[in-house]
Structure 1
């Protein structure tokens, strides 16, 4: 494995999985050029959050936020829609494969899940969820509290399979991914607006960061130590938000992006505090905002042509049930950064991961 420069608590390179691996192994307390030992194994990846790492949790929920139908999964194994909000894999799949754990990360709620899969990790994430407790209620998906409850259940199953000692070892050495915040800002605050009467943007981002911090402390108390927390993306540049808030020319909605930037600044500061105060923790802030902005501003550099709309339908508003087999898809999704109006293509994810 090639050496690289290790950056404390932020990341803007395209090799997210390699960065995560380095954090798992050496922590976040210095800047150094390192070569990672090849004999160190990460036992599992465990994911929480929203549709970016939803591996099919929403399939059997009573919600419109689903992706278990075509054209989702168009480029997945056998063209099968699995509930992943992409034409192919998610970042969670790419990370477990990059770390040599397994090819795909399954959903904890997958009815066909083999108990052996529990030993190498699962995803509890639910598309449409967020840190704000109101966010999942709007669309009837799993909240952070629901995901935490399932995680406790998962720990009980691990103990039954391998015992208390090995369970604690798996948890302490696994990589935890927490991906949320986009739906809070894009949907709950701006589009639906149910929080606007209660909060201005600074106070709402405080609510989000407080809830994120509480969730991280909860999983820490249950044994998590190596935790990567994703920033919010530039939500104003998502195709759907361009359509809803970007005016007739569908420019990036700067008010939305400014809110995401403010949240990210506060989140990063809080994660630095948690990393200092939670014993033996390795908690990192994973910046996806700036890499996505870089891709959108210079798509040709990354082998892309279209970054302002998705591949599905018109690409301006279609997502979830609005992106369906009755609509056309673009002839070559590898030229698009976005698959639908909210989620990247497999090509987009591969650039980031």
Structure 2
């Protein structure tokens, strides 16, 4: 685990702390690594360099997608073209819905596993990446199959099929015993629900005609629970489930559903996200009691992002109600393209496009997310 990786990703506030605090953080991660590795003999033989997990796998939507939609020509949720990736390695657009890295990339970098988490459907994927984790997420996806149908992208069911294909490749290359050890001891990051709430429900009459919102959330949580159980049946044991963000504060939501104010979040959407998060968290608690040897952690991204939006100056931001790309009010995916005007200084913006945060925002949020995952204080 490289010490420089930690310092590079810590937000400005944390970077200002004393070297003593930084060292305490480093050693905390070290001892958490020992804790996880000591649970089973398999973990001890698989986990290298005292890392808490041998690999990271990611499922879900555009927040963690690293390029699986690139070959879907009919989808509205694709971004493998400029200006996406403007600040990625070499300024290359790779299908990441940001100007730089995604949370999935930052997590594997922070843990010292590797620099980025590659998309499973990347034609340049290398065999060595099978051992340390890949990304199955697809922008536009949700727990509700309708979300991916609207966006014409890969559903969670499709992602499970990709994962099964991955398992076969892993066993062919690593052997049964090592493959099972990797599957059992790795971490599974799941980020979905934003498209379900924002698109499949509020921007589609189909689900509104079928359910009131509390009933729809019950359906979503049931679908989420079934997905976790399927992953569990395939060997997953460590789950990190990201809740819904403050959807009412996204520039696109303010544009479409706001009431004339470019500064105020749309409360209905935020309340919906909070309601879903409370039910999802309760279901995760239940699964922890019913899936033997599993560890499911609910990761509350809602308040991490909301804190940036409500206190931008605290983190070095100036613009909170629009993205850097185009007018910043509605442009996302195909609408944020080579012909779009860009802001002069992306570091002043919380949002890159009208839906997704900038790499700088992620670099502030992800350490808090990792604090939750590793259960340590920083």
TM-score norm. by structure 1 comes to 0.90
Contact 1:24 1:282 in 2 (8 A): no
Please report how far the alpha carbon of residue 294 of structure 1 lies from its aligned counterpart in structure 2 after TM superposition: 1.2
Q: Choose between structure 1 and 2: higher helix proportion.
A: 2
Question: CA-to-partner distance for each residue in 1:177-196, whole Å, 9 max, x for gaps?
Answer: 00000000111111233211
Task: Say which of 145, 153, 175 aligns to 2:157.
Answer: 145
Secondary structure in 1 aligned to 2:313?
helix
Deviation at 1:222, TM superposition (A): 0.5
Task: Tell me what 2:306 maps to.
Answer: 293
Q: For residues 230-250 of structure 1, give each alpha carbon's deviation from its aligned partner in whole angstroms, at most 9, with x where no partner exists.
A: 000010110000111111113
Residue 270 of structure 1: which of 278, 283, 297 is its match?
Answer: 283
Where does residue 177 of structure 1 map in the other structure?
189
Deviations 1:256-305 (A, max 9, x none): 11111110000000001111111110100000001111111111111111
Where in structure 2 are the equivalents of 1:17-166 lying within 5 Å? 39-61=50-72, 62-166=74-178
1:177-196 alignment runs, 5 A limit:
177-196=189-208
Alpha-carbon separation, structure 2, partners of 1:310 and 1:125 = 23
Which residue number corresponds to residue 8 of structure 1?
A: none
2:69 aligns to what SS in structure 1?
Answer: helix
Question: Residue 200 of structure 1 aligns with which residue?
Answer: 212
CA distance in 2, matches of 1:285, 1:268: 6
CA–CA distance in 1 between the matches of 2:327 and 2:174?
50
2:350 is paired with a residue whose SS is strand
User: Matches of 1:345 and 1:260 in 2, distance apart?
Assistant: 21
Change (3 A) 1:199 1:114: same
Question: Whole-Å Cα distance in 1 between the matches of residues 191 and 30 of structure 2?
Answer: 17
Cα distance change, pair 234–282 in 1 and its aligned pair in 2 (3 A): same
Q: Does 1:241 align with 2:259?
A: no
Residue 319 of structure 1 aligns with which residue? 332
Q: 1:115 to 1:333 in 2, by over 3 A?
A: same
**Using a 3 Å threshold, how does the CA distance of structure 1 residues 73 and 294 change in structure 2: closer, same or farther?**
same
Taking structure 1 as reference, are residues 175 and 258 closer, same or farther at Cα in structure 2, changes over 3 Å only? same
Q: Retained in 2: the 8 A contact 1:49–1:178?
A: yes
| CA distance in structure 1 between the partners assigned to 2:31 and 2:201 by the alignment | 35
Q: Mark the runs of 5 or more structure 2 residues left unpaired by the alignment.
A: 2-12, 16-24, 37-47, 367-378
1:326 is paired with a residue of what secondary structure? Answer: coil
Q: Call closer, same or farther: CA 1:20–1:66 in 2, change over 3 Å.
A: farther
The 3-state SS of whatever aligns with 1:57 is coil
The answer (yes or no) to whether the contact 1:128–1:183 under 8 Å persists in 2 is yes
State the superposition RMSD in angstroms. 2.2
Give 1:43 deviation, angstroms.
1.1
Structure 2 distance, partners of 1:206, 1:14, is 38
Runs of 5+ consecutive residues of structure 1 not aligned to the other structure: 2-12, 28-36
Q: CA deviation at 1:173?
A: 1.2
Give secondary structure in 1 for the equivalent of 2:239: strand
Aligned length: 332
> Do the aligned partners of residues 248 and 22 (structure 1) sit closer, same or farther apart at CA in structure 2, a change above 3 Å counting?
farther
Distance 1:54 1:181, change over 3 A: same
